[in-house]
């Protein structure tokens, strides 16, 4: 796992683009527990690896997800969240039929914030601290 403050390089650029996302299941249902939570994490790490993204911190709480991720300048924030929500919804609803009771797995809403050098470590510590509620 990379440090949140490490700069990356492309062919013609040097960048540090870390995004903090928070999103919830539809109706804020507490469905992200046990095997569902474990499988969600697995899906997120597989997707991030495929896309060349670095998951810096991840918390799957029963009713929301915090994801802190390093992306490239060519990755639009709305497409990053779309990839995570879309892939995880498809597989989780296929593998856990009880999730089909919800009209959709994820709420359409999400929070995203960009983070630079200084705030990256603060966000990472916040996500890793299980006591923030």
- Contact criterion met (CB below 8 Å) for 89 and 106: yes
Residue 3's contacts (CB-CB under 8 Å, 6 or more residues apart) are: none
**pLDDT band at residue 41, thresholds of 50, 70 and 90?**
very high
Give the Å distances, CA to CA, from 36 to 31, 50, 122: 7, 21, 28
Residue with tokens 């802190």: 68
Could you give the CA distance from residue 28 to residue 22 in angstroms, rounded to a whole number?
Answer: 12
Q: Which residues are catalytic?
A: 126
Predicted model pTM = 0.85
CA dihedral 40, 46, 95, 28 (to 10 degrees): 30
Q: Where are the domains of the chain?
A: 8-132
Could you give the CA distance from residue 118 to residue 122 in angstroms, rounded to a whole number?
Answer: 7
Q: Show the tokens assigned to 130.
A: 């299980």
Could you give the CA distance from residue 48 to residue 84 in angstroms, rounded to a whole number?
Answer: 9
- Mean pLDDT for 50-55 is 97
Give per-residue pLDDT as tens, 14-30: 888 999 999 999 999 99
Give per-residue pLDDT as tens, 62-102: 999 999 999 999 999 999 999 999 999 999 999 999 999 99
Pick among 3.30.70.1290, 3.40.50.2000, 3.30.70.600, 3.10.20.340: CATH of 8-132: 3.30.70.1290
Q: Show the tokens assigned to 32.
A: 């992200």
């Amino acid at each position: 796992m990379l440090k949140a403050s490490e700069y990356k390089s492309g062919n013609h650029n040097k960048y540090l683009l870390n995004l903090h996302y928070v999103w919830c299941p539809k109706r804020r249902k507490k469905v992200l527990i046990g095997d569902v939570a474990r499988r969600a994490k697995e899906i997120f790490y597989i997707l991030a690896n495929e896309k060349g993204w670095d998951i810096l911190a991840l918390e799957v709480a029963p009713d929301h997800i915090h994801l802190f991720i390093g992306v490239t300048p060519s990755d639009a924030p709305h497409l990053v969240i779309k990839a995570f929500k879309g892939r995880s919804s498809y597989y989780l609803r296929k593998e856990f039929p009880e999730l089909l009771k919800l009209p959709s797995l994820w709420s359409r809403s999400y929070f995203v914030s960009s983070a630079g050098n200084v705030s990256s470590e603060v966000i990472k510590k916040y996500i890793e601290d299980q006591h923030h509620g």
